[in-house]
Structure 1
Amino acid sequence: MPSHIYFDFFGTLVRYDPSILPSAFNAPLEFARRASARVGQAEADALWTRAWDELDSAAHRSGRECSMLQIARRYWELLGSPTIGEGELARLVREYLAVWSAQVAPAADVRSCLQDLCADHVLSVVSNTHDAALVPRLLRELQLDTYFDRVFTSIELGWRKPHRQIFRMVLDAHGIAAQDAVFVGDNWDADIRGPQAVGMRACYVGARERGREPVSLAQLPGVVRGA
């Protein structure tokens, strides 16, 4: 039986809205107004999307993670680099993430699954994220943090899933071999093919698709122990 189980966060442990556009308070638009940039909501949304897509696509190609601050700075450049205090970029990131994460909620059966598995496994989170504080904060707020030994984020490690390096760094941090670990996630490339490429076993909890049969979190303890 494996000794360590690594969980993806977004879409696996929690439900969330993957859209990058603001759903309530439009932090990018408010930033533009504070900077006296003459843009309306549609243009602000388009520029925010462009900034996000440029940096996130480059990170996906290279495997090197980008930060929310870098995305905010690129958005500022696309606005024409208006004069505004440096602290306003950090404020944009804080306000945007506060709204974006407000609807994040625990996945079905997540607490019973984690309580069961932590009895005889070391559990950790391995998440792609553009902000180092976001996942630990949400774990605390959702009262899921006590189940986990470590939280590994792509922005802190420098590499993002499915790059092999992030999985190797996580295994090295615990001093274990790949065969001693199971990875659990909802993204086929990042959470299944990625860990499998370094020799880890992987359990898919995403949407059912042709050739991709998921297990539920309620089923997961039995699946892991039945290996």
Structure 2
Amino acid sequence: MLFDFFGTLVDHSLCGAENDFTRSHDLMRTLGAPLTYDEFLAAWSKNSAQFAQLSEIDNREYSMTDIGTAFLREVLGCPPARADVDQLVHTYLSEWNRGVRHLPGIGDLLTALAGEYWLAVVSNTQEADLVPDHLEAMGVQHLFDTVVTSFEVGWRKPHPTIYTAALNELGIAPGAAVFVGDTYEADYRGPPASRDPLAPHRPTQPSGHTPRGTPLVNLRAACPSRGTHLSMPRSGRSTTCWSDSPLCGGPDRTSPPGMGLR
């Protein structure tokens, strides 16, 4: 059973408006960039958006170090020291993480599922430790047989490589996998180009329509039914599961600045 992470096992701020990046802004100013707080956020957003647009072309992953380097090069007017980039990225992530919410009941659900299935996380992220650190803080890291991220693979969902990597880690075929995610276009409709020819037919949904289904907490009971669709509406999104579908997933286009996560 393969899980998306952000928006599925944890919730997070979609726009970053509730996050306070004051320490990141102060650090930037100590490095020599006299931007106001709003100018700082605008410049960071612009740089991260540029990387996201490039990633949309071929689904190659970028890193927070890439964003931090480009950002400081722009606001300082010269190539930044790697130590300064690392400090800014660390500070930014510590502030961004305040907008990540661990969902109640997830630990009990995963504990029950781990007794019956191999579990894996397959997530888009631009930092190596971000997902593992959250799993550890949630007290569930030991329940997962593998954690596969776009940062380590180099390719974002929905590129087939990241799913293949997860399947290889588990030693299973696509038809034996359940994927649970929260994006209709990506997690529900995303994989036709790589879909298993033996996978069941999935009903066509009108553009923009999100199917209704069973809450995530009922995943254990619902997944054994072949072709079952599950959804958990949250902030206009849904969590979906196809019990014998090809793997599916996609990059988050509504994440906070610099965090194209899924």
Q: Check whether TM > 0.5.
A: yes
For 2:35, the equivalent position in structure 1 comes to 39
Q: Does 1:30 align with 2:26?
A: yes
Change (3 A) 1:64 1:84: closer
Amino acid at match of 1:198: R
Quick one: distance in 1 between partners of 2:87 and 2:17?
Answer: 17
Structure 2 counterpart of 1:16, from 12, 15, 23 = 12
For 1:226, the equivalent position in structure 2 comes to 225
Q: In 2, are the aligned partners of 1:136 and 1:151 still within 8 Å (CA)? A: yes
Q: Per-residue displacement from partner, 1:125-170 (whole Å, max 9, x unpaired)? A: 0110010110000110111212111111101011111112211221
For 1:198, the equivalent position in structure 2 comes to 195
Q: Does 1:58 align with 2:54?
A: yes
Q: Per-residue displacement from partner, 1:39-91 (whole Å, max 9, x unpaired)? A: 11121111000011000221122111000000101111221434753201001
Please give the TM-score of this superposition, normalised by the length of structure 2: 0.76
Number of residue pairs the alignment of both structures matches: 217
Identity %: 31
For 1:111, the equivalent position in structure 2 comes to 107
Quick one: distance in 2 between partners of 1:173 and 1:142?
Answer: 23
Question: 1:127-166, aligned counterparts within 5 Å?
Answer: 127-166=123-162
Stretches of structure 2 lacking an aligned partner (at least 5 in a row): 201-207, 227-262
Amino acid at match of 1:59: S
Stretches of structure 1 lacking an aligned partner (at least 5 in a row): 202-208
Structure 2 counterpart of 1:171, from 167, 170, 173 = 167
RMSD of the alignment, in Å?
Answer: 2.3
Please give the TM-score of this superposition, normalised by the length of structure 1: 0.86
Q: In 1, are the aligned partners of 2:25 and 2:40 still within 8 Å (CA)? A: yes
Q: In 2, are the aligned partners of 1:35 and 1:83 still within 8 Å (CA)? A: no
Change (3 A) 1:214 1:108: farther
Change (3 A) 1:122 1:83: closer
Moved more, 122-131 or 157-166: 157-166
